[in-house]
Structure 1
Amino acid sequence: MAFTRATGKHRRPSRAVRVGANVAGIATLSAAGVVAGVAAPAFAASPEEAPRVQDTGLTQAVVISDHVADSVDEQAQMQRGVAEQDAATQKAEDAAKAQAALIKKRADEAKRKAEAERAEKERAAREEERKRLNTFVMPIAGSFVSTQYHASSGLWSSGSHTGVDFHAGEGTSVQAVGAGTVVEAGWGGAYGNNIVIKHNDGTYTQYGHLSSIGVSVGQTVTPGQQIGLSGSTGNVTGPHLHFEARTAPTYGSDIDPVAYLRSHGVNI
């Protein structure tokens, strides 16, 4: 069976011709199957017996094939759309994770910096406190030595002065020359009211003739802390502070108080 069409230069083939051509193509390409099986009798029949193309199942088969193709295209487009949406979602999630990681990194860096600064401040504070505790001061601020160490006089039972006297009126503030622990606080015979402090370097200092005592045995003191008031208790001729430096808490272990204070950085 031959398919013919007008030879007009621009005339489009009729629907029957197009369908016939499609059927012929399908019959040729298909070695078996529904389409080939339906097409074979159509070609074998005489022109009078041949059913019209549009009355066969071929038109429906071709239309169905177009519909399937369109459905496949739509499904492919939907799949591409889903894939693109998934890719966009993943990209957004990755960007959010990267931003969160950056924020966490900056927060961790800020935390480490703050901790380092705090540690440095604490170290500096400890160092400052250590220096402060190792600092020595005058027992009476702004005073001066009125009687020298080892001065001779019958006023002292040993025949010489075992400490130095600092000029002070009655009730002047007396302060610990350095950090330490009070080992004696009370009446000291010829020393009157007196205080003895053991310092962190193992040396001792004594403060005598006080009018009042402001610390107790076992109490720790810091440099410059007020421990009592000057006076004239004990064997004295007037108010002042008797100050001694010792290698032991007992009488007779005295050392030069001025040299002692100078060795600890006191300008005297």
Structure 2
Amino acid sequence: MAFGSRPAGTGKHRGSSRLSKKTAGYAGIAAIATTGVVGSLAAPAFAADNHSSSAPENGLGAVVVAEDLAGDIEDQAEAQQRAAEHAAAKAQAEADAKQKAAEAKRLAEAKAKAEREAAERAAREEERKRLNTFVSPLDDSYVSTQYKAGGGMWSSGSHTGIDFHAASGTSVHAVGFGTVVEAGWGGAYGNNVVIKHNDGTYTQYGHMSSLNVSVGQQVTPGQQIGLSGSTGNSSGPHLHFEARTGSQYGSDIDPISYLRSHGVSL
């Protein structure tokens, strides 16, 4: 029997190796990571060896940290993507708003231009009508002697105008816009006025008792140019009215047709 020998089964139990402890520690960390519950095996393993505290940082703990970091980066990337999409949508909305505003401005300007042009056309038309407005030379009168009536009273053998019935002193009007080219004594016509109108025609007013206009004066439709009478070669108070293509005697045209062509009803 050998001295100093000790039975194999009766000796002290040897502690777990560091590798075993670390393995247990890793297993505990894995349990926490996967189940969220601290395993009964993990606590002794950490308590058995203080050196095992470095294992989470070097092993599965590093994996968890890396996963958390990756999650944070992913969240940050998603947040940046959402911010970029929001900024792009905002920029697009602003661009659309600017485009709509520009289009609205263009339409408003086009509408204003069209309205302005329409107003200008209307004003021109109104002015054209105004300049071509004609009236009768006497109010509430009638033609007492027709154009081209024959008789010895007229040197030409026929009437070169028409006579309007009028008592002495009746207001005589210019029939349209124009310029006075003659105002005064006219021989057989007595006191007379000749007016050149805007369309190039002329009208004459004879036998008046008095005149209210002078040569060069601008006149308007209905403006009083004198008073009726019986001056010159006249058998009684009336107004002799002529329409002419020129300012001189002999260029007469039918006065009734002339007035009617300018909208005057007789």
What corresponds to 1:77 in structure 2? 75
> Given residue 97 of structure 1, which amino acid in structure 2 is its aligned partner?
A
Aligned ranges for residues 170-189 of structure 1 at < 5 Å? 170-189=168-187
1:66-105, Cα deviation, whole Å (9 max, x unpaired): 4354334323322321221221122123123223322432
Residues 1:60 and 2:57 are matched in the alignment: yes
**Corresponding residue pairs, total:** 231
Question: How far apart are 1:262 and its partner, in Å?
Answer: 3.7
Bigger Cα displacement from structure 2, 200-209 vs 213-222: 213-222
Match of 1:145 among 127, 140, 143: 143
Within the candidate set 21, 25, 33, 1:15 is matched to 25
Task: Tell which deviates more after alignment, 206-215 or 151-160.
Answer: 151-160
Match of 1:234 in 2: 231
TM-superposed CA distance for 1:177, in Å, is 2.6
1:16 shift after superposition: 4.9
Q: Which amino acid in 1 is paired with 2:167?
A: G
The amino acid that maps onto 2:222 is Q
Give yes or no for the alignment of 1:96 onto 2:106: no
How is 1:234-253 mapped onto 2 (pairs within 5 angstroms)? Answer: 234-235=231-232, 236-253=234-251
CA distance in 2, matches of 1:266, 1:211: 25
Cα distance in 1, alignment partners of residues 150 and 113 from structure 2: 61
Q: Please say which of residues 192-201 and 154-163 is displaced more in the overlay.
A: 154-163
Q: 2-side partners of 1:185 and 1:54: how far apart? A: 135
Deviations 1:106-152 (A, max 9, x none): 34324323432332343244334434434543222332112333445
TM-score (norm 1): 0.67
Quick one: which of 198, 207, 210 aligns to 2:196?
Answer: 198
Question: Do the aligned residues in 1 keep the contact of 2:201 with 2:245 (CA within 8 Å)?
Answer: yes
In structure 2, the residue corresponding to 1:149 is in which secondary structure? coil
* CA distance in 1 between partners of 2:183 and 2:105 (Å): 56
Deviation at 1:64, TM superposition (A): 5.1
* C-alpha RMSD of matched pairs (Å): 3.7
Shift of 1:205: 1.0
Q: Is the 8 A contact 1:191 1:233 kept in 2?
A: no
- Letter of the 1:229 counterpart: G
Q: CA deviation at 1:61?
A: 3.2
The whole-number CA distance in structure 2 between the counterparts of 1:54 and 1:129 is: 110
What are the ranges of 5 or more consecutive residues in structure 2 without an aligned counterpart? 1-16, 31-48
SS of residue in 2 equivalent to 1:67? helix
* Corresponding residue number in structure 1 for 2:37: none
Matched with 1:225 is 222
% of aligned pairs identical? 50
Structure 1 residues 140 and 71, CA gap change in structure 2 (3 angstroms): same
CA 1:66–1:219: 2 relative to 1, 3 Å: farther
Q: Which amino acid aligns with 1:15?
A: G
TM superposition shift of 1:249: 0.7
**In structure 1, how many angstroms separate the alpha carbons of the residues matched to 2:213 and 2:80?**
85
Q: Which moved more, 1:177-186 or 1:82-91?
A: 177-186
Shift of 1:174: 2.5
Q: Which amino acid aligns with 2:74?
A: A
Query: Matches of 2:110 and 2:211 in 1, distance apart?
Result: 50
1:267 pairs with 2:248: no
Q: TM-score, normalised by structure 2?
A: 0.67
Letter in 1 for 2:164: F
